[in-house]
């Protein structure tokens, strides 16, 4: 199993959506328990799910996941306390009656949220993705958002301080995507430097790892791992998948061509074997790198259990995807066998 194969080097985890384990078939449960050493809730610990209305916490699904994990000896990653995008934050958070909330109000709501959620799972959730996706993809350093506008850049340090106060033993993570790429990598290092200078209790960086077939920036990933190691930070590959349907054109310039792309579903009838083989080789190359850098990498988490459950089937448009090690029947793909063959 993945757990036996890599477990003494890093935890191999999986993101689970919906209600665990009720929403999973017997074959899926066998896969979870047979292969993985850790779990991340795909959605149920996000602010929009866990506190959709001010003061109304919905802990149901999160409790079920943590109980399941504890009962089976799986590590839990809490994901995520502050997702630095407006559309990922419940609207009430930035409102006060008919007007915008003040800095003080947003900060106190943030601290209450973090305190409530982290202390509930204290000792049972080993690490927290405290802040998610705060870095901008384009020119700006930090992503424009109400977090930034209302609180200022200090919301990041404040979030870490609040999480640390609520559970001093939890490993606290900054999590983001594309941070290995030139441009965003410098911003990540700047952020880590600033947080460190402020004495922020940050223990690890999460590299999401939503890569794409034929476009895995292996050299950039290796370079970033080296830089993070030099800073004494642990690394989590926190949301690994390897989509086979190209998504680059979608992001390239937006606009009308997206409507056209949104109508396409190129692999609706299945994934050709040659693509699955190429995916297998590229997954193996990635795991070779992870094994090489196992001193720095503490965890590698797949973003969803198998192809049929991948978020990429619905993102950024509806189309059949094949990004994981297991197929829609929870059976191993060539990629699984290739990864298991990595020495």
Enumerate the active-site residues.
Answer: 133, 239
Least Å distance, CB 315 to ligand XIL, is 7
User: 170 pairs with which residues across the strands?
Assistant: none
Closer CB to ligand XIL, 132 or 296, in the complex:
132
Task: Give phi and psi for 314, each to the nearest 5.
Answer: -120, 5
Strand, coil or helix: 342: coil
Do 40 and 300 touch, CB atoms closer than 8 A? Answer: no
Least Å distance, CB 96 to ligand XIL, is 27
Quote the CA–CA distance of 117 and 111 in Å, as a whole number: 10
Stated as kind and residue range, the H or E segment containing 15 is: strand 11-16
For residue 36, give Cα distances in angstroms to 43, 265, 338: 19, 31, 17
Do 80 and 45 touch, CB atoms closer than 8 A? Answer: yes
Residues of this chain that bind ligand XIL (CB under 6 A): 17, 42-43, 132, 208, 239, 311
Closer CB to ligand XIL, 101 or 173, in the complex:
173
Closer CB to ligand XIL, 17 or 37, in the complex:
17
Least Å distance, CB 9 to ligand XIL, is 24
Closer CB to ligand XIL, 81 or 148, in the complex:
81
| Token duo for residue 170 | 């939890």
Name residues whose C-beta falls within 8 Å of residue 283's C-beta, 6 or more positions apart in sequence: 242, 325, 335, 338, 339
Do 13 and 300 touch, CB atoms closer than 8 A? Answer: yes
Least Å distance, CB 103 to ligand XIL, is 25
Strand, coil or helix: 88: helix
Helices 218-230 and 273-292, packing angle to 10 deg: 20
Tell me the residue number closest to ligand XIL, measured at CB.
Answer: 311
Strand, coil or helix: 320: coil
Least Å distance, CB 182 to ligand XIL, is 21
């Amino acid at each position: 199993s993945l757990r036996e194969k890599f477990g003494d080097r890093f935890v191999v985890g999986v993101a689970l959506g919906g209600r665990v384990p009720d929403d999973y078939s017997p074959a899926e449960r066998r896969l979870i328990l047979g292969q993985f050493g850790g779990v991340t809730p795909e959605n149920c610990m996000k602010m929009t799910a866990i506190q959709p209305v001010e003061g109304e916490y919905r802990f149901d699904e999160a409790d079920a996941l943590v109980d399941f994990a504890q009962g089976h000896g799986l590590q839990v990653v809490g994901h995520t306390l502050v997702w630095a995008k407006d559309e990922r934050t419940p609207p009430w958070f930035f409102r006060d009656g008919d007007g915008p909330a003040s800095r003080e109000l947003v900060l106190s709501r943030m601290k209450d949220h973090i305190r409530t959620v982290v202390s509930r799972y204290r000792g049972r959730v080993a690490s927290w993705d405290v802040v998610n996706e705060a870095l901008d993809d384009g020119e700006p350093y930090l992503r424009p958002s109400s977090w930034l506008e209302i609180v200022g850049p200090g919301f990041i340090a404040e979030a870490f301080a609040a999480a640390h106060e609520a559970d001093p033993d939890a490993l606290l993570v900054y999590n983001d995507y594309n941070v290995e790429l030139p441009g965003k990598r410098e911003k990540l290092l700047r952020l880590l430097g600033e947080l460190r200078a402020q004495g922020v209790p940050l223990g690890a960086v999460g590299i999401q790892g939503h890569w794409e077939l034929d476009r895995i920036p292996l050299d950039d990933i290796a370079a970033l791992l080296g830089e993070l190691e030099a800073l004494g930070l642990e690394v989590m590959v926190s949301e690994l998948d390897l989509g086979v349907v190209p998504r680059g054109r979608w992001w390239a310039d937006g606009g009308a061509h997206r409507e056209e792309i949104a109508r396409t579903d190129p692999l609706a009838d299945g994934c050709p074997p040659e693509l699955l083989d190429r995916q297998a080789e590229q997954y193996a190359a990635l795991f070779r790198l992870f094994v090489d850098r196992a001193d720095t990498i503490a965890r590698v988490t797949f973003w969803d259990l198998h192809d049929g459950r991948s978020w990429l089937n619905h993102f950024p448009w509806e189309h059949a995807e094949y990004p994981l090690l297991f197929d829609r029947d929870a059976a191993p793909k060539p990629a699984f066998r290739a990864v298991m063959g990595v020495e």
